[in-house]
Each structure stands twice: as C-alpha cells, then as structure tokens.
Structure 1
C-alpha cells in the first residue's frame, strides 16, 4: 500500500494543479458516517456457503461457480508435498469504498475532509450536454476485513487477516482523472467504443438483474452501462446511485488491471489466489452503507450490473451532496485443511 501511495503521490505532484474537465462543487460539504461493523453489515450476504458444489446454507443470493468436488488437493513445499482439505466457498466483506464528487471527502470515516493541497480538484456535479447527463467521481478504497475482526470463520485459512487501511486514493492518480491516459491500462477499450458493443450491454443488464451475470461480456457493467473508461467520468448517468455503483465497479476492475486485486473465486482459487487482469464480475457484490445502510430486503448486496431502480428510492440526498459508501463483498473459494 505504501509503495502504491508513494508512486501516486509523485505522479500527482507532476500533474496539473487544475484538471480542465473538473469543476468545484459550490457550497458542498462532505457528508458521511462511520460504518458499524455489526449493525451496518448485511450478514445474510455471506451466503451461499458451499462445500464443493453442495450448498450448506443457500441464502437468497446468486452464487459464482464452485469446484465440483468437496475434496481438494493442494501442493506444498514440505512433505508429504500435498495438502488434503475441503473445498469451501463463502462471501466475505473485505473492502469499503467511498464514491464522492468532493476531493478527499472520506465518506466512510464519518464524512471528514482531509485536503493535503495536492492532487486533482473536485469533480463536476451532474451536467448535461444536450445528449446525456455527465458526472464525475473520486474513489477511496479501504481494506476492511470484518470477518477477521469479529473472529467469524477464524478456522478458515482463507479468511483475509489484515488490518484496516486506506489502500488507494484517486485524487492522486492521473490515470483515474483523464480518459485518454486511462487507455494506457486498458487499450482494448478502443475495440468496444462503438454503439453495437454498448447496446449489447442491455443483454448483460437483463441477465444480471435476473441473477445471471454474463461474465463473458466483461466490457459491460450491466444496467450501469460500460466498464470503460476505467475512470470516474460517467456519461449517461440517470441517477446518483446508478452512477456511484458504476464508478465502484470500474474501480474494482481498475484494481485488477493494475494487479492490485486478485482472483479469489472458482476452482482456480481453491489452493491460492491468482492474478486476474480481466475482472470476473461475478466475484463482487456492493452493499450500500452510506448515506443509508441497506441491510434488509430482497435487493441488498447487488451484483455488478443489477438494476438499481427497484431499491434506489430514498438512498440519495442531493441537499447533502453525492457522497456514497459501499461495503464490498468478495466471493472466496479455498481449501480448508483437514489432513496436514
């Protein structure tokens, strides 16, 4: 984290003090609150809990593909050079993410604003060019291993054992603040920058909302439109909840593309995490925790691409500003040792 932050800080010092497309939000104040790791978490989002392909606790959320066998064999460096275990799958809350139009507004840290005086300025509030609404957001990405803190499933070696930290701040990242520079990390976006590819995302929207995320359509964010560019600039936004979810999904994809996030789901992840430069959209769920906590009901913890229309009413407060916080749930498949 320190190396990443240092690199981004050096880039920000060299970056222009004012971004041409950014405009300050007049009279805006940072809003938010601390996330309660017990009452603000939708604990039913931890399910399904599986043993191989067998559901132990089904829950009411769609799942990702699991290993077919309940037994796993993983190579080790010590005799007998193989670990025998059980293939376990579950969902784990591991990250928090701020999505805000105000620089250095830490929504999930109580709405505190800490401006070091460097980096990119405030993002623009919603505007229209006569064709589509346009907005832009900054993102803050936190390490937030709730299950480890509360000692839930502590016998599972695959539960993330880390401490709370601020892992990434986009105000210091020129690639997040410039669509043209961002192409450096996703040149394939030039292939999908056409009406046909964008229109195809309507299929992903319908499938995601029905509980079947189309991972082969990796360039789509379902009902939130497209994953490209991997920046905070959103065109065609119809609502703040939809726009903030799109930005959160794009940033997760960006973390994978920069090899700062790993693949943790599916048979391939049973023995160890692996690098996943093209993110598996099925691996994540985003639960709103700011400005309101969304912990109950059929639409909690939506997967990437699911329509926000059924639940976004009452989740936005324009008077306070467009400051959102999400708890990031990640699917984890792992081999739990039963024989040393």
Structure 2
C-alpha cells in the first residue's frame, strides 16, 4: 500500500470515528455514502474522440483542442511515443457545498464543529440588508471513478489514484473572509464595476447554448462572478449559489497551484497548472440532494437544469441546501507505442 492510499484510509477512518460526536444525536447532518454506480451520470463522459472518430452525444462538441488524429509525445523516460489523439470527459472529482460546517454528506458522516454556528452557511434576502447574500462551505474530493471501480485499468489516459478528501474550506481563512481572499485574487478590483459585469451576459448566453466563454474569465455566466475567491456570493438562489461555489472552488485551487488542467496539453499526462480557470474544460453534474442527468457547463442557468432539484426539507439521505457535485473534466492524451 502506497503512502497516498494510507493517508486516504486514515482520513476516512478519522471521519467515521468522529461521526457520533458530531451528529449522532441531532441528525442535523444527513448523508449517505456515495454509490459511484448509481449516483453519478456516466453519460457525462461523452462525447469521446479517438483519432478522427467521435462517439456519443453528436450534438455536443468533442472535448479538447486536438488538431491532429495522430500524436507524438515523450514518455516519462523521454522516449517518443507515436499514437492516436484521444479526448473524453473524465469523472475525476467530487465537490460538496454545504450549509453545516464539517458535514460530509457524501461520506454519510460529519466532524465535530469546534464552536456551534462557527462558519455556518446562510442565505439572506435583500429585505434584511443591502443585497442578497449567501455563504457555504466546500469540500473537494479526489474521485477517479474508473480507478475506484477497477475499470479500464490498462488505459493509460485515466487517473489511477485513491479516493481522498483533498481540501476542506472550514480550516481555510481565505474562504471564510472576503478581505483575506484578496491575497490570492488582487485583480478582483479590476472587475468590480458595471461594465465588466455586463460582459457576463454574453457568457451566460453562451453557457446556455453551448459552453462558456473562456476569455471572460471573471464571469460564471448566470451564477455571478468568480470574485472574490471565497464562500460568499451576492445571490439567493440556492442552486446558483452552490453551483457557483463549486466552480469558485476550482478557480481557487488553480490559483493555489493545486488544480491541474488535463484538457490543454495531450503530452502532459498530469495536467497543466492554470491560475486562470479554463471554464470550458469542466462540467458539473448534481448528485445530491437529487440526482441530475445534466452535464452542466459553468454558468448555465439553473432554470434549465434545476427543476425540483432542491426540496425545501431535503431528502431522507441529504439535508436541505447541502449539495454534492460530480465533476467531469476534459482529458486529452496520446495513446500509442514507444518508438524504439
């Protein structure tokens, strides 16, 4: 067993040991272990492109920026590999956006909140202040679905890692304070004006029809603005809030060099660091509180995909306003044989 697997198992074990202390009696954090077979949308891996052939979802653009069906890339030893250009949508991560701090619905458990109400989520209407305001915590999991289910183990393009809790915002002061978040996104001052935000209308329209506009990197379409890179949003629609915060989590991790984009360079098997998020390389699918069948580009209006997806009292396996998102990312790679 390697070190990564050991850390993953230890993390999950600690979460389960702490669960009775956190929510054993109150039931405030409802959850159920994620079932990768039934809870995620496998159709979201399509379309797949191999060489010049495209499979599945003919009405959607094939992923990646592949320009040639044939590729030549160096392997880890520097030996050139001749192969076929391959692109698909990879089920790679899970993102939770939750109202209750230290609640992990995907694991069916929670951890003890050091102080009741500490960094709890909220959703406040404009009548109680100057504007709508919402706040949620977020959790980021490594979730290589193919590896977990032992599928396509000999396929060189898929990620082979263990399931792991990789990031939780409850212990991140930058997520919990808008002012501190400017440390990692000082350029936010350039986009806090009506002209910049008006450009986001075009991004919303594009995300509704096909995919978001990457040069408008500060826009999340109809979900609002990426800035600040914190858990606060000027919005009161729970679906827009939670989808937007899941997208912000990606931008924030990229800015902190913790996110590697696998849809840019087919010769970089581990991905490329992207301080500015390439929005069109990621799609979300709602897994909780109600499983959705939509592969949602960043910024697509919840009116299109969100009907009856957030019951007011939650579900038997999920508290209200606790969301779980299955993330699919573009994966481009070169599948072939070494040129000896």
TM-score range, shorter chain: 0.7 to 0.9
Tell me how far apart the structure 2 counterparts of residues 153 and 89 of structure 1 sit (CA, whole Å): 15
The aligned counterpart of 2:30 is 31
Q: Distance in 2 between matches of 1:310 and 1:28?
A: 32
* 2:276 is aligned with 1:278: yes
* 1:53–1:68 Cα contact (<8 Å) kept: no
Cα distance in 1 between the residues matched to 2:40 and 2:297:
16
Q: 2:161 aligns to what?
A: 162
The two structures, once aligned, show a CA RMSD in angstroms of 2.3
Contact 2:133 2:232 in 1 (8 A): yes
Rounded to whole Å, the distance in 1 between the matches of 2:332 and 2:267 is 5
| TM-score calculated relative to the size of structure 1 | 0.84
Q: Which residue of 1 aligns with 2:266?
A: 269
Say which SS state the counterpart of residue 122 (structure 1) adopts.
coil
With 200-209 and 120-129 compared, the bigger mean Cα shift is at 120-129
Shift of 1:283: 1.0
**Counterpart position of 2:143:** 144
Q: Size of the alignment, in residue pairs?
A: 309
Name the counterpart of 2:133: 134
**1:199 corresponds to which residue?**
198
Q: CA deviation at 1:311?
A: 2.5
Shift of 1:282: 0.8
**Whole-angstrom CA distance in 2 between matches of 1:282 and 1:63:** 12
Which of 305, 313, 318 is residue 299 of structure 2 equivalent to? 305
Aligned partner of 1:71 in structure 2 is 70
Pair 1:243 & 2:256 matched: no
What SS is found at the alignment partner of 1:204? helix
The alignment partner of 1:244 has SS state of helix
- With 41-50 and 53-62 compared, the bigger mean Cα shift is at 53-62
**Could you list the per-position Cα deviations for residues 49-105 of structure 1 after superposition, in whole angstroms to 9, with x for gaps in the alignment?**
0024542334554444431111111124647x3111211001111111110111101
CA distance in 2, matches of 1:287, 1:90: 16
Aligned partners of 1:46 and 1:90 also within 8 Å:
yes
8 Å contact 1:45–1:61 — kept in the other structure? no
Aligned mates of 1:167, 1:264 — CA distance in 2: 18
CA distance in 2, matches of 1:43, 1:95: 14
Could you state the TM-score of these two structures normalised by the residue count of structure 2?
0.84
1:208 aligns with 207
Q: Deviations over 1:80-138 (max 9, x none)?
A: x311121100111111111011110112112x221252795312233434543211000
What residue is the counterpart of 1:176 in the other structure? 175
Distance (Å, rounded) in 1 between the aligned partners of 2:230 and 2:114: 21
8 Å contact from structure 1 (residues 31, 323) kept in 2: no
Q: Secondary structure at 1:176's aligned position in 2?
A: coil
**Alignment partner of 1:188: what SS?**
helix
2: CA distance, partners of 1:313 / 1:76: 46
For structure 2, list consecutive stretches of 5 or more residues without a partner in the other structure: 8-25, 315-319
Residue of 84, 87, 90 corresponding to 1:86: 84
Distance in 2, matches of 1:223 and 1:138, equals: 21
> In the superposition, relative to structure 1, how do residues 102 and 28 fare at CA in structure 2: closer, same or farther (>3 Å)?
farther
Establish whether residue 319 from structure 1 lines up as the match of residue 313 from structure 2: yes
Alignment deviations for residues 165-208 of structure 1 (CA, whole Å, 9 cap, x no partner): 11001000000011111111111111111111111111100011
* Residues 76 and 40 (structure 1), Cα distance of their counterparts in 2 relative to 1, 3 Å cut: closer
- Cα contact 1:208–1:305 (8 A) shared by 2: yes
- Deviation at 1:40? 1.5
3-state DSSP class of the match of 1:154?
coil
Alignment match, 1:17 = none
SS in 1 for 2:179: helix
Structure 1 stretches of 5 or more lacking a match? Answer: 6-26
Q: Is the 8 A contact 2:62 2:87 kept in 1?
A: no
Decide whether the 8 Å contact of 2:262 with 2:268 is kept in 1: no
The alpha-carbon distance between structure 1 residues 316 and 28, as it changes in their structure 2 partners (threshold 3 A), is farther
Shift in alpha-carbon separation, 1:116–1:243, aligned structure 2, 3 A = closer
Query: 3-state SS of the aligned residue for 1:269?
Result: coil
CA distance in 1, matches of 2:279, 2:273: 14
